[in-house]
Protein backbone atom coordinates (compact mmCIF):
# COMPACT_ATOMS: atom_id res chain seq x y z
CA UNK A 1 0.00 0.00 0.00
CA UNK A 2 1.38 3.45 -0.91
CA UNK A 3 2.21 5.57 2.16
CA UNK A 4 -0.16 8.38 1.09
CA UNK A 5 -3.16 6.05 0.76
CA UNK A 6 -3.94 5.97 4.50
CA UNK A 7 -4.33 9.78 4.56
CA UNK A 8 -6.64 9.80 1.54
CA UNK A 9 -8.83 6.90 2.66
CA UNK A 10 -9.16 8.41 6.15
CA UNK A 11 -10.49 11.64 4.66
CA UNK A 12 -12.80 9.73 2.32
CA UNK A 13 -14.40 7.98 5.31
CA UNK A 14 -14.55 11.20 7.34
CA UNK A 15 -16.35 13.13 4.57
CA UNK A 16 -18.29 10.25 2.98
CA UNK A 17 -21.69 11.61 4.00
CA UNK A 18 -21.14 14.60 1.70
CA UNK A 19 -21.67 13.70 -1.97
CA UNK A 20 -19.33 16.52 -2.98
CA UNK A 21 -16.44 14.63 -1.35
CA UNK A 22 -16.42 12.42 -4.47
CA UNK A 23 -15.93 15.36 -6.85
CA UNK A 24 -12.44 15.96 -8.19
CA UNK A 25 -10.95 18.17 -10.88
CA UNK A 26 -9.20 16.35 -13.71
CA UNK A 27 -6.64 18.27 -15.76
CA UNK A 28 -5.67 17.07 -19.23
CA UNK A 29 -3.86 18.54 -22.21
CA UNK A 30 -6.28 19.68 -24.94
CA UNK A 31 -5.99 18.79 -28.60
CA UNK A 32 -4.66 22.33 -29.15
CA UNK A 33 -2.01 21.72 -26.42
CA UNK A 34 -3.76 24.04 -23.92
CA UNK A 35 -4.87 22.87 -20.46
CA UNK A 36 -8.37 21.51 -19.82
CA UNK A 37 -9.93 21.05 -16.38
CA UNK A 38 -13.25 19.45 -15.60
CA UNK A 39 -15.02 18.03 -12.57
CA UNK A 40 -15.30 14.24 -12.47
CA UNK A 41 -16.64 11.76 -9.92
CA UNK A 42 -14.31 9.45 -8.03
CA UNK A 43 -15.50 5.84 -8.52
CA UNK A 44 -12.97 3.78 -6.60
CA UNK A 45 -9.47 2.36 -6.26
CA UNK A 46 -8.05 -0.70 -7.98
CA UNK A 47 -6.08 -3.30 -6.04
CA UNK A 48 -2.96 -1.55 -7.45
CA UNK A 49 -4.15 1.80 -6.00
CA UNK A 50 -5.06 3.28 -9.36
CA UNK A 51 -7.84 5.85 -9.27
CA UNK A 52 -11.02 5.00 -11.21
CA UNK A 53 -13.29 7.44 -13.07
CA UNK A 54 -16.00 6.81 -15.69
CA UNK A 55 -16.03 8.59 -19.02
CA UNK A 56 -17.99 8.76 -22.23
CA UNK A 57 -15.76 7.70 -25.14
CA UNK A 58 -17.44 10.32 -27.31
CA UNK A 59 -16.18 13.14 -25.05
CA UNK A 60 -13.29 15.45 -25.81
CA UNK A 61 -11.58 14.15 -22.67
CA UNK A 62 -11.25 10.67 -24.19
CA UNK A 63 -9.67 12.03 -27.37
CA UNK A 64 -7.24 14.10 -25.32
CA UNK A 65 -6.21 11.09 -23.22
CA UNK A 66 -5.53 8.95 -26.30
CA UNK A 67 -3.05 11.57 -27.52
CA UNK A 68 -1.51 12.47 -24.15
CA UNK A 69 -2.33 10.43 -21.07
CA UNK A 70 -0.54 12.68 -18.56
CA UNK A 71 -3.07 13.97 -16.04
CA UNK A 72 -3.37 15.69 -12.72
CA UNK A 73 -6.25 15.36 -10.27
CA UNK A 74 -7.02 17.98 -7.62
CA UNK A 75 -9.20 16.58 -4.84
CA UNK A 76 -10.36 18.98 -2.14
CA UNK A 77 -11.84 17.71 1.11
CA UNK A 78 -13.46 21.00 2.07
CA UNK A 79 -14.63 20.19 5.60
CA UNK A 80 -11.19 18.88 6.54
CA UNK A 81 -9.45 21.76 4.76
CA UNK A 82 -7.22 19.33 2.95
CA UNK A 83 -6.19 19.10 -0.71
CA UNK A 84 -4.54 16.27 -2.62
CA UNK A 85 -3.03 16.60 -6.08
CA UNK A 86 -2.32 13.35 -7.89
CA UNK A 87 -0.16 13.16 -11.00
CA UNK A 88 -0.03 10.17 -13.21
CA UNK A 89 -0.93 8.42 -16.42
CA UNK A 90 -4.49 7.69 -17.44
CA UNK A 91 -5.51 4.59 -19.34
CA UNK A 92 -8.96 4.05 -20.79
CA UNK A 93 -10.34 0.57 -20.18
CA UNK A 94 -13.14 -0.91 -22.25
CA UNK A 95 -12.63 -4.57 -21.34
CA UNK A 96 -14.68 -7.09 -19.35
CA UNK A 97 -13.76 -5.34 -16.11
CA UNK A 98 -16.23 -2.54 -16.81
CA UNK A 99 -19.15 -4.96 -16.32
CA UNK A 100 -18.77 -4.71 -12.52
CA UNK A 101 -18.76 -0.91 -12.72
CA UNK A 102 -21.80 -0.86 -15.00
CA UNK A 103 -23.76 -3.05 -12.60
CA UNK A 104 -23.05 -0.63 -9.72
CA UNK A 105 -24.84 2.24 -11.48
CA UNK A 106 -28.46 3.08 -10.78
CA UNK A 107 -30.94 2.75 -13.65
CA UNK A 108 -31.12 6.54 -13.89
CA UNK A 109 -27.32 6.81 -14.18
CA UNK A 110 -27.26 4.05 -16.80
CA UNK A 111 -29.76 6.00 -18.88
CA UNK A 112 -27.39 8.99 -19.05
CA UNK A 113 -25.04 6.96 -21.25
CA UNK A 114 -27.66 6.98 -24.03
CA UNK A 115 -27.84 10.77 -24.11
CA UNK A 116 -26.55 12.71 -27.14
CA UNK A 117 -22.78 13.06 -27.49
CA UNK A 118 -21.12 15.40 -24.97
CA UNK A 119 -20.17 18.80 -26.37
CA UNK A 120 -22.51 18.71 -29.38
CA UNK A 121 -24.98 21.51 -30.02
CA UNK A 122 -28.04 21.41 -27.81
CA UNK A 123 -31.35 20.42 -29.36
CA UNK A 124 -34.67 20.87 -27.57
CA UNK A 125 -36.17 18.04 -29.63
CA UNK A 126 -33.43 15.62 -28.64
CA UNK A 127 -33.80 16.57 -24.98
CA UNK A 128 -37.58 16.10 -25.04
CA UNK A 129 -37.15 12.61 -26.50
CA UNK A 130 -34.80 11.47 -23.71
CA UNK A 131 -36.33 8.68 -21.69
CA UNK A 132 -34.96 6.90 -18.67
CA UNK A 133 -35.28 3.39 -19.99
CA UNK A 134 -33.62 0.39 -18.45
CA UNK A 135 -30.29 -0.12 -20.14
CA UNK A 136 -29.25 -3.73 -19.66
CA UNK A 137 -26.34 -3.79 -22.09
CA UNK A 138 -23.22 -1.74 -21.60
CA UNK A 139 -23.18 0.97 -24.27
CA UNK A 140 -20.02 1.16 -26.37
CA UNK A 141 -19.35 4.72 -25.15
CA UNK A 142 -19.13 3.69 -21.45
CA UNK A 143 -15.54 3.31 -20.31
CA UNK A 144 -13.35 3.41 -17.25
CA UNK A 145 -10.33 5.64 -16.76
CA UNK A 146 -7.64 4.20 -14.50
CA UNK A 147 -5.04 6.64 -13.30
CA UNK A 148 -1.69 5.17 -12.35
CA UNK A 149 -0.40 7.61 -9.76
CA UNK A 150 3.27 8.65 -9.83
CA UNK A 151 3.22 11.74 -7.58
CA UNK A 152 1.02 12.92 -4.70
CA UNK A 153 1.01 16.40 -3.19
CA UNK A 154 -0.84 16.79 0.13
CA UNK A 155 -1.70 20.25 1.51
CA UNK A 156 -3.32 20.59 4.93
CA UNK A 157 -4.71 24.08 5.46
CA UNK A 158 -3.95 24.54 9.17
CA UNK A 159 -3.75 27.87 10.94
CA UNK A 160 -1.34 29.56 11.38
CA UNK A 161 0.98 27.39 9.26
CA UNK A 162 -0.15 25.13 6.43
CA UNK A 163 1.46 21.70 6.20
CA UNK A 164 2.55 20.25 2.88
CA UNK A 165 4.26 17.04 1.85
CA UNK A 166 4.89 15.27 -1.40
CA UNK A 167 5.44 11.65 -2.39
CA UNK A 168 7.20 10.76 -5.63
CA UNK A 169 7.38 7.25 -7.02
CA UNK A 170 10.96 6.29 -7.96
CA UNK A 171 10.99 2.50 -7.72
CA UNK A 172 9.50 3.14 -4.27
CA UNK A 173 7.59 6.04 -2.73
CA UNK A 174 9.82 8.87 -1.48
CA UNK A 175 8.22 11.43 0.87
CA UNK A 176 9.47 14.93 1.49
CA UNK A 177 8.12 17.83 3.49
CA UNK A 178 7.89 20.97 1.36
CA UNK A 179 6.85 24.57 1.89
CA UNK A 180 3.14 25.31 1.38
Alpha helices in 29-97 (DSSP H): 60-67
Higher pLDDT, 21 or 115: 21
Q: Please indicate, yes or no, if residue 116 is contained in any of the structural domains.
A: no
Q: Indicate which CATH number applies to the domain containing 157.
A: 2.30.110.10
In whole angstroms, what is the distance from residue 33 CA to residue 18 CA?
Answer: 35
Closest by alpha carbon to 147, among 80, 51, 15? 51
Q: How many domains does the chain have?
A: 1
Q: Please indicate, yes or no, if residue 129 is contained in any of the structural domains.
A: no
Q: Please indicate, yes or no, if residue 60 is contained in any of the structural domains.
A: yes
3-state secondary structure of 28: strand
Contact indicator for 15, 21 with CB cutoff of 8 Å: yes
Q: Please indicate, yes or no, if residue 112 is contained in any of the structural domains.
A: no
Q: Please indicate, yes or no, if residue 40 is contained in any of the structural domains.
A: yes
Q: What is the mean pLDDT of residues 9-17?
A: 92
Q: Please indicate, yes or no, if residue 27 is contained in any of the structural domains.
A: yes
Higher pLDDT, 17 or 69: 69
Closest by alpha carbon to 75, among 142, 144, 149, 2? 149
Q: What is the pLDDT at residue 128?
A: 56
Give pLDDT tens digits for 41-55: 999 999 999 999 999
Domain that holds residue 41: 5-104+140-177
Q: Please indicate, yes or no, if residue 172 is contained in any of the structural domains.
A: yes
Q: What is the pLDDT at residue 51?
A: 97
Q: Please indicate, yes or no, if residue 131 is contained in any of the structural domains.
A: no
Does 62 have pLDDT greater than 90? yes
Give pLDDT tens digits for 110-157: 888 888 788 878 777 665 555 555 667 888 899 999 999 999 999 999
Q: Considering all CA atoms of the chain, what is the largest pairwise distance in Å, rounded to the nearest integer? A: 55
Range name among 5-9, 21-25, 71-75, 90-94 with the lowest pLDDT average? 90-94
Q: What is the pLDDT at residue 91?
A: 95
Amino acid sequence: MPPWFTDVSSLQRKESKFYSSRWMQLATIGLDKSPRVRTVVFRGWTENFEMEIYTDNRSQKSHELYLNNNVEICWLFARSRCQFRFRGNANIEMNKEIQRHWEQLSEENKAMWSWPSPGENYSVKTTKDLKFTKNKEIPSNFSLIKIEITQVDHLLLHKPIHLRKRWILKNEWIMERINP
